[in-house]
Amino acid sequence: MRAGFRTFSRTQAAKAILSLMPHISVDNLVRASKFAEKLTRVERDREVIRALRGLFEQRHPAILMAKDVMDRLSPNCRKRLIENLIVNAFLIGTDKR
C-alpha cells in the first residue's frame, strides 16, 4: 500500500509540473528539473535530468524547439505525451523494471 501511494504521489507531482509546460519560462524549467531529480530513484535518470538542466541553463536551441513544439500541441496530445513518456517511462517504469 505504501509503495502504491509513493508511486501515485510522484505521478501526480510530475503531471502537475509538466502540465504547466506551455506556460513556464526556461528559468522555471530549471527549477522544475531540480524537483524532478528528487522524484527519481535511479541514478541514471538523475544524470539525464542533470544533463537536461544543463541544456536548459545554456538555452540550447533543441530544448527551446522542443518547448515550442509542446506549446503547439493540443492539450489532449500534450497530456498523453506527458503521461506515457515522462510518467510511465521514467517514474513508474523504473519501479517495474
Domain spans of the chain, in order of start: 2-96
Q: Which amino acid is at 54?
A: G
Does residue 2 have a pLDDT over 80?
A: no
pLDDT tens profile 25-58? 888 878 878 887 887 778 888 898 899 889 989 9
Lowest-confidence region among 16-20, 46-50, 83-87: 16-20
The average pLDDT across 67-73 equals 82
